[in-house]
């Protein structure tokens, strides 16, 4: 089997890349180790930056998002039982975000790929990337019990942290930057309408809490918990009681309870792999970088990566110049490190570390009070939250 671009992974970045290449007249093949049902049900991110929304619309994948997604024009910060709203459009010249789950993005892109695009092979496990530093890289994969080879001009690894793509980059050429946080997020899905019409980020002495949503009838909520916590150790009543404590306000705001349908614990860490390119192998998304979810940047960073690659390859096809392809890694990493910075700032602002001192506790409150009283500080948050330019 041969194609121009071999894409490993059918998450939102791999699927979007296939769509962008199709629209540019460039052929590709997508290999996904899981089955279609798994990909369409895998719960991950739910906040789309303005740039991601614009890219999906331009790619012809935004119709259902625009019908069913929830546009959010701000977030609410809570601390010391106070509430402060950050108005995104007023601070950014009209930019906003969209609540639209990763599962729904994948469903839309899969449907388009199967209808109009090139081959999308589910249950096709990539085994290795070979010849990345040659003009003819190959992906060895297993599909329906048979090993095969996909010969490509380029390979893009959208196969996550544990995938084979980044393993093909020699260790001596690699630098790793990472940080692991001593806490995680206990996340729940609940069949109850959200108790607020925008996301609520709460700082509390007992730990961080986040009120989010997946739809007008499904709430997504999170609690900061110690690293290594077992989700099943928390009863439903204990979860709701703790959420109520951390979201409490002086004006009597009320958190609505409902049946919890899913609970899990997400570890918190930052990770950056440099470079993001080796020869004709390009890394995108979690294969190259991971951010703590506090800043809602993971999926959006992956979108930025594949937009950068698609533009660069289109430029090469139109002009014969590989200038943009050669600049892929530094171009992406500039945006990645800004997202890492913002995610780190949001995480340290809103979470209380187990060994936090009274001095550090007061500094966090001072930072929150600064956000609530300074338009300049608010603008910095709003610009970063709604998205860095692609």
* Active-site residue list: 72, 201, 293, 297, 385
How far is the C-alpha of 237 from the C-alpha of 36, rounded, in Å? Answer: 35
Residue with tokens 């590989």: 322
Burial class (CB in 10 A: 0-12, 13-18, 19+), 170: exposed
How far is the C-alpha of 127 from the C-alpha of 138, rounded, in Å? Answer: 11
Query: Is 6 in contact with 156 (CB distance < 8 Å)?
Result: yes
Q: How many CB atoms neighbour CB 326 within 10 A?
A: 13
Query: Is 185 in contact with 37 (CB distance < 8 Å)?
Result: no
Distant-in-sequence, close-in-space partners of 183: CB < 8 Å, separation ≥ 6: 207, 224, 225, 226, 227, 268, 351, 353, 354
> Which of helix, strand or coil describes residue 229?
coil
How far is the C-alpha of 50 from the C-alpha of 376, rounded, in Å? Answer: 20
Query: Is 87 in contact with 124 (CB distance < 8 Å)?
Result: no
How far is the C-alpha of 56 from the C-alpha of 49, rounded, in Å? Answer: 11
DSSP state of 11: S
Strands 47-48 and 97-99: antiparallel
Strands 281-283 and 277-278: antiparallel
| Pair of tokens at residue 384 | 């970063």
């Amino acid at each position: 089997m041969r194609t121009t671009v071999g894409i490993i992974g059918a998450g939102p970045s791999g699927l979007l890349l296939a769509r962008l290449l199709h629209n540019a007249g460039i052929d590709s093949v997508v290999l996904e180790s899981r089955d279609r049902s798994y990909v369409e049900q895998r719960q991950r991110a739910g906040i789309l930056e303005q740039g991601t929304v614009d890219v999906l619309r331009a790619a012809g994948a935004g119709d259902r998002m625009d019908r069913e997604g929830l546009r959010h024009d701000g977030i609410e910060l809570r601390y010391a039982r106070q509430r402060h709203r950050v108005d995104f459009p007023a601070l950014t010249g009209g930019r906003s975000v969209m609540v639209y789950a990763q599962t729904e993005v994948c469903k839309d892109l899969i449907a388009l790929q199967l209808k109009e695009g090139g081959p999308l092979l589910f249950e096709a496990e990539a085994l290795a990337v070979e010849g990345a530093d040659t003009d003819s890289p190959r992906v060895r994969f297993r599909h329906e019990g048979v090993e095969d080879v996909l010969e490509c001009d380029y390979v893009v690894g959208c196969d996550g942290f544990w995938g084979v793509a980044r393993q093909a980059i020699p260790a001596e050429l690699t630098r790793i930057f990472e940080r692991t946080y001593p806490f995680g997020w206990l996340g729940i899905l609940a069949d109850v309408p959200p108790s607020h019409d925008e996301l609520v980020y709460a700082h509390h002495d007992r730990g961080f809490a986040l009120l989010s949503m997946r739809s007008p009838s499904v709430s997504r909520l999170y609690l900061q918990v110690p690293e290594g916590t077992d989700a099943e150790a928390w009863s439903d009543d204990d979860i709701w009681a703790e959420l109520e404590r951390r979201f409490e306000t002086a004006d009597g705001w009320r958190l609505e309870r409902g049946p919890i349908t899913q609970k899990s614990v997400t570890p918190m860490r930052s990770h950056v792999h440099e470079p993001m390119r080796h020869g004709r192998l390009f890394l995108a998304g979690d294969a190259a970088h991971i951010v703590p979810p506090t800043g809602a940047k993971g999926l959006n960073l992956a979108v930025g990566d594949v937009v950068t690659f698609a533009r660069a390859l289109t430029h090469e096809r139109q002009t014969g110049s590989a200038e943009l392809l050669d600049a892929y890694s530094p171009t992406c990493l500039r945006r990645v490190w800004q997202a890492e910075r913002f995610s780190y700032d949001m995480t340290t602002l809103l979470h209380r570390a187990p060994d936090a001192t009274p001095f550090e506790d007061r500094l966090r409150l001072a930072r929150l009070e600064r956000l609530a009283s300074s338009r300049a500080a608010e603008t910095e948050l709003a610009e970063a939250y709604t998205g860095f330019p692609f």
